[in-house]
Amino acid sequence: MDTPLPAAGADLAPDYYLSNFNLLVRHVVDRCRHLLSADELAWLIRFNALGPAPQRLLVRLLSRKGPLFRLDKLRYDEIPDLHHCAKALVDARLARWHPAPGWQELASLCTKRELLALVPEADARLSKTELLASLAPLPLPEHRLSVLALEQRAILDTLRLLYFGNLHQDLAQFVVSDLGIQRFESYPLTADGLEIDSRETLEAWLSQEVLSRECQRCLEQRDGDALLQLAPGLPGPLPWPELERKRQKTALLVAREWERREAFDQALVLYRQSTLPPSRERQARIALKRQRSLRAVTLVTRMLVSPLDEQEATVAARLGKQLARQGHWHWSPLTTHAPKQERLVLANSGERVELQVAAHYAAAGWRVFYCENALLNGLLGLVIWPSMFAPVAGAFVNPYQQGPRDLYRPEFVPRRQASLRAELANWTPERLLERYRLKQGIANPLVQWDRFPADLAEQALHSLPRALLSACFERLLFDLRGNRSGHPDLFLVQGRQARWLEVKGPGDRLQDNQSRWLNFLEGQGARVSVCQVSFE
């Protein structure tokens, strides 16, 4: 787990984390005992045989990064005798004493100052990395560190996956809920929520989750070499739809790195395994680079005829123009319309440019809200709230979900077609404002409460035509993942007048999704413009 457990506050028992871990274990054993291996069940038996203090230490260590722990660095007020507890874990075969046999492991446990104390003759002017390199040829000095390593540490991932249905939630989730930091809607859980019905499926899920995390780590560190080293571990197509989507997303990341290196054959092998965007776009771009125009025309035509999302349609039109310029295709360009532009010269206060523009229009008598994507998404979240939290099979598998697991998947709308149609037809400003009052603060992935104050909701509902808002809701639901972003930065109200502004500072330009939203809003009769800012 990557999220550290917080210290117990006034509202938490000293061993709150142990209670939460036991709750998680009971839930998993009651519902998924048949999916646990003999070794995992034996681990749980040994854990349950421990006294409370060793159990507390084990759960504390499971919640830390590790994998090695120096006992002299641990401080837990509710666990007074750490050495005794550590010995109990070792005796129960839930942990082992670790000798830290190499410099790398020793360095991971010690500060630079501690390493210098072990090897006084070393050069103190070196950085820790340089110091470690200089010490590598030397024999490891004797040290008296008590170092603990946990056995079967991976069991926590198994328990988390079976409880939460994912590995991005952890034991800290219980705490933020208990403290009221996050509040969740009440909804029934469904036993068939995950596609995990066998040990084979469980192990495939765990392997893919580990692979996805490693890919993400490589991307964050911009380590393309490490990303490509993961390629041999990619499984072939999987029979479980949700897990197959995860596999395809990982394959696209690796394929993109091959493409950047112009290893096109390796990239295409992976792109062709995916039906997700931007697989067809990337294949078309590779065909263009290789001057295989017929293949590019075929792919672009498919994208134009049956786009998987609005971004794919935008890219396909752009690629079609490129093919037409090269003489490979007769292209009838779609009419495009540049949104209205206005220019504003400001004295730069150093604040975000959006806030400076907001202050300018506020001084001119407008009510200005810097809400970006929060307004339309928030209103839609209020409109379809009942459908979002309806008891649809597989939608909710743990009590700590902000929304249904299929919210951004193509099947979200078809599975709730009747209720969504009714909600979109029957909403009124009064009902939405009442729902806002009743639900305020409850987690909903479409509603950013901190950027969607009640005043904003009221002003928008009373100043924007119902037909305009309904059209926006329909567009959002057509491609919720893609269309939830790109909304104009500022919403302005003056009396019954309302307008949107997309703010662009020096050197900034419109993104595709922003252009689509501006054109759509203008086409629906809304007053929108791009505010190009320059500074004195």
pLDDT digits 0-9 by tens, 297-306: 999 999 999 9
Task: Report how far apart, in Å, the C-alpha atoms of 3 and of each of 70, 89, 148, 170, 210 are.
Answer: 19, 23, 20, 7, 16
- Strand ranges for 341-403 from DSSP E: 341-346, 367-370
pLDDT digits 0-9 by tens, 394-451: 899 999 999 999 999 989 999 999 999 999 999 999 999 999 999 999 999 999 999 9
Quote the pTM value: 0.85
pLDDT digits 0-9 by tens, 45-82: 999 999 999 999 999 999 888 789 999 999 999 998 99
334 has pLDDT over 60: no
262 has pLDDT over 70: yes
Banded model confidence at residue 108, pLDDT cuts 50, 70, 90:
confident
Q: Please report the pLDDT score of residue 141 as a whole number.
A: 83
* Run of H or E residues at 232: none
Give me the residue spans of the domains in the chain. Answer: 15-101+145-179, 199-326, 341-535
The CATH code that applies to domain 199-326 is: 1.25.40.10
Average pLDDT over residues 105-111: 86
Q: What percent of the chain has pLDDT above 70?
A: 96
Q: Scanning the structure block, which residue is given the tokens 């505010």?
A: 531
Average pLDDT over residues 496-508: 94
Q: Please report the pLDDT score of residue 443 as a whole number.
A: 96
Q: Please report the pLDDT score of residue 2 as a whole number.
A: 46
Residues 6 or more apart whose Cβ sits within 8 Å of residue 463 = 493, 496, 497, 498
Report the C-alpha dihedral over residues 172, 178, 180, 182, rounded to 10 degrees.
Answer: 40
pLDDT digits 0-9 by tens, 269-318: 999 999 999 999 999 999 999 999 999 999 999 999 999 998 999 999 99
Q: Please report the pLDDT score of residue 8 as a whole number.
A: 47
Q: Both tokens of residue 36?
A: 């646990």
Q: Both tokens of residue 405?
A: 């697991």
Residues 6 or more apart whose Cβ sits within 8 Å of residue 362 = 368
Instruction: Report the alpha-carbon distance of residue 280 to residue 282 in Å, rounded.
Output: 5
pLDDT digits 0-9 by tens, 335-372: 566 788 999 999 998 899 999 999 999 999 999 999 99
Banded model confidence at residue 533, pLDDT cuts 50, 70, 90:
very high
Q: Both tokens of residue 230?
A: 């993961």
Instruction: Report the alpha-carbon distance of residue 236 to residue 36 in Å, rounded.
Output: 25
Banded model confidence at residue 105, pLDDT cuts 50, 70, 90:
confident
Average pLDDT, the chain: 91
Higher confidence at residue 190 or residue 178? 178
Average pLDDT over residues 98-102: 80
Task: Report how far apart, in Å, the C-alpha atoms of 134 and of each of 109, 116, 415 are.
Answer: 18, 12, 63
In contact, 78 and 56? CB cutoff 8 Å: yes
* Segment among 24-38, 124-138, 511-525 with least mean pLDDT: 124-138
1 has pLDDT over 50: no
Q: What percent of the chain has pLDDT above 90?
A: 74
